[in-house]
Structure formats: C-alpha cells, structure tokens
C-alpha cells in the first residue's frame, strides 16, 4: 500500500494556497510527484499515484483533511483486499478523496481521462467498489473528525483548536467538549 496526499486545487474559498509549494516539503522523507498529465484535477492525481505505486494499491487523501483516523484507514485497508475501490460513504455522499484505489483501476481511470471525464467516481461502474457506510464510520470514528475539511480560514482556526486539544496533557476527549465538536 502506498499513501498519496493530493495537494492540487485553487484554494479559492481559502483565499491562499492551502498546500503551499512542493519545495516546502523537501525536508520530509516523502516522494513529491507532479501529475503525469497536468490539469486533470483529483482524478489525474489518483492516476499519477497509481502509476507511481507500480502495481500496489494507493490510499488517497486530500491535503485539507488533517485528521485521518487510524481505525478508519486500517479498516479500509482490510476491505481493500477484495475490492478495487474502498470509499467512505457519509450521509452527504461519497468521500473519493479519502479512499483506496487498486492498480486494477488504472485502465478505467485512463479511459475516463481520455474521454474528458474528470469526476473521480466516473469510473466506479467499471470496478468493484466497497462503500464504507456512515454507520460503520461512526463506530470507527465516533467523533467524526476523519473528514474534517479545511476550506476557509475559519476552518483552519477550528483545526488549530482541535490540535491544541490533542496536545500532551489534553483531556480524555480531545476532539469534543460537552459532546460537540469544536
């Protein structure tokens, strides 16, 4: 399994680049890739990640989802053994930028890209997809922080507050106070 953090996008709601520039991450022990076919959005990033993974599956997440939960990711990895895609399904819909894609997806993604279809889920009918239900997600991530998304400066402030609560010495329930996130 290979992990891929997608850092593209215009950050228009945020007002500035949320992901910064690739050079900002050179001090980390990670491989930084540019899309093999630039300008195709998240589906192009997933395609690049799968090409780089050389036959391995890829766990994909967006750079603005900072609170990955190990229980969710581990369960998804277990489900990926018998599926081409494992994607969480919240009440609001699928989270294809917090999903696992097998190498078997590559030709189907390429076909969609060649046809100018850039919606991530466009190739799902051609592969075996496992949807992780919102009920299952609730058991694995009872505080619901896996899909906390930073789209605005206010979201960033809220994320900082959540991080402060998880610092050493934080109370036993780091994400919630009185049962309410935030």
Average pLDDT for 64-88: 95
Residue 9 maps to a domain = yes
Instruction: Tell me the CATH number at 99.
Output: 3.90.550.10
Ranges of H-type helices in 54-152:
70-80, 106-114, 134-140
Residue 88 maps to a domain = yes
Q: Distance (Å, rounded) from C-alpha 88 to C-alpha 76?
A: 9
Q: 68-90 burial, b for 16+ CB within 10 Å, e for fewer?
A: bbeebbebbeebbeebbbbbbbb
Decide if 75 contacts 139 (C-beta within 8 A): no
Cα 41 to chain centroid distance, Å, stands at: 14
What is the pLDDT at residue 171? 47
What is the pLDDT at residue 151? 84
pLDDT in tens, 5-21: 998 765 555 555 656 77
What is the pLDDT at residue 166? 64
Residue 41 maps to a domain = yes
Residue 153 maps to a domain = no
What is the pLDDT at residue 172? 47
pLDDT in tens, 33-62: 889 999 999 999 999 999 999 999 999 999
Q: Give the residue numbers spanning the domain of 124.
A: 2-143
Cα 36 to chain centroid distance, Å, stands at: 19
Task: Write down how long the chain is.
Answer: 182
Residue 165 maps to a domain = no
Total count of domains within the chain: 1
Residue 79 maps to a domain = yes
Residue 173 maps to a domain = no
| Stated pTM of the model | 0.85
pLDDT in tens, 124-179: 999 999 999 999 999 999 988 999 988 888 988 998 888 887 655 544 444 444 43
Phi-psi region of 147 (alpha: psi -120 to 50; beta: other; left: phi over 0): alpha
Tally the C-alpha atoms within 13 A of residue 43's C-alpha that lie toward its C-beta.
21
Residue 109 maps to a domain = yes
């Amino acid at each position: 399994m290979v992990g891929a953090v997608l850092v593209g996008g215009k950050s228009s709601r945020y007002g500035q680049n949320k992901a910064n520039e690739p050079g900002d991450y050179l001090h980390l022990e990670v491989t930084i890739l540019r899309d093999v076919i630039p300008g195709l959005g998240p589906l192009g990033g997933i395609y690049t990640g799968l090409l780089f993974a050389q036959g391995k599956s890829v766990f994909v997440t967006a750079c603005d989802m900072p609170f990955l939960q190990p229980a969710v990711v581990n369960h998804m990895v277990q489900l990926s053994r018998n599926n081409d895609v494992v994607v969480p399904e919240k009440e609001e819909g699928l989270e294809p930028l917090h999903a696992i894609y097998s190498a078997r997806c590559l030709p189907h993604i390429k076909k969609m890209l060649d046809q100018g279809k850039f919606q991530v889920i466009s190739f799902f009918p051609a592969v075996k997809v496992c949807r992780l239900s919102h009920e299952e997600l609730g058991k694995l991530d009872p505080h619901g922080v896996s899909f906390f998304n930073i789209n605005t400066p206010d979201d960033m402030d809220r994320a900082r507050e959540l991080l402060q609560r998880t610092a050493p010495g934080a109370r036993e329930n780091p994400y919630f106070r009185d049962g309410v996130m935030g």
